[in-house]
């Protein structure tokens, strides 16, 4: 499945690198854990090998997937609800999936909406968190600085809003 050194995304917390595997005794049984050091968070987490798949841990995006995300960000969104409660619930549900396209949808839709109307405080926060997670994963995958990736995403979003 995964090996030490693999770059992974762990949707609730961001992206990181599998630093080691560790065996611990839990309830009298040996359990193997993956230690994932999270990018930019000065912390690591342990996830049991048996629960790794259900935890949502996945490999970071490939270059091809990144290009697909960039193309998707450049598309004009459709069906953005005017009602804050509906928009918020949909975006929260999207973020919970751990799916990169859903994450990109939140970034794109909130960015597009901010062009016409100021985002609420919670939407601004949601945008910043989603934007950072997206940029961090792309940066880790490409081996580029997060700052540079954020600039590229901002440029794509800005160009998309012109059309």
Asked whether residue 49 falls in the same domain as residue 75, the answer is no
1 lies in a domain?
Answer: no
Write down the pLDDT at residue 107: 97
- 152 CB-side CA count, 13 A: 17
Q: What is the pLDDT of residues 27-41, one digit of tens each?
A: 999 999 999 999 888
Q: Beta-strand (E) ranges in the chain?
A: 7-10, 14-26, 29-38, 43-48, 58-59
Domain's final residue, options 22, 37, 59: 59
Asked whether residue 95 falls in the same domain as residue 30, the answer is no
Write down the pLDDT at residue 54: 85
Q: What is the pLDDT of residues 52-91, one digit of tens each?
A: 888 889 999 999 999 999 999 999 887 788 888 999 999 9
Asked whether residue 74 falls in the same domain as residue 17, the answer is no
Q: How many domains does the chain have?
A: 2
Write down the pLDDT at residue 1: 80
Asked whether residue 49 falls in the same domain as residue 79, the answer is no
Write down the pLDDT at residue 40: 82
Structural domain that includes position 96: 63-162
pTM for this entry: 0.88
Asked whether residue 122 falls in the same domain as residue 158, the answer is yes
């Amino acid at each position: 499945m995964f090996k030490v050194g693999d770059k992974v995304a762990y949707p609730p917390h961001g992206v990181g690198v599998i630093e080691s595997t560790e065996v611990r005794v839990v309830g009298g049984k040996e359990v193997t854990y993956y230690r994932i050091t999270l990018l930019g968070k000065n912390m690591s987490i342990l996830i049991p090998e048996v629960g790794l798949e259900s935890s949502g841990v996945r490999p970071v995006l490939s270059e091809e997937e990144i290009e697909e995300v960039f193309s998707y960000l450049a598309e004009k969104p459709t069906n953005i609800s005017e009602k804050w409660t509906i928009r918020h619930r949909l975006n929260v549900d999207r973020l919970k999936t751990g799916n990169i396209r859903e994450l990109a949808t939140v970034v794109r839709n909130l960015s597009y909406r901010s062009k016409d109307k100021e985002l609420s405080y919670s939407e601004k926060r949601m945008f910043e968190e989603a934007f950072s997670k997206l940029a961090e994963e792309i940066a880790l995958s490409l081996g580029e600085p997060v700052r540079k990736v954020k600039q590229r995403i901002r440029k794509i979003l800005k160009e998309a809003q012109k059309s």
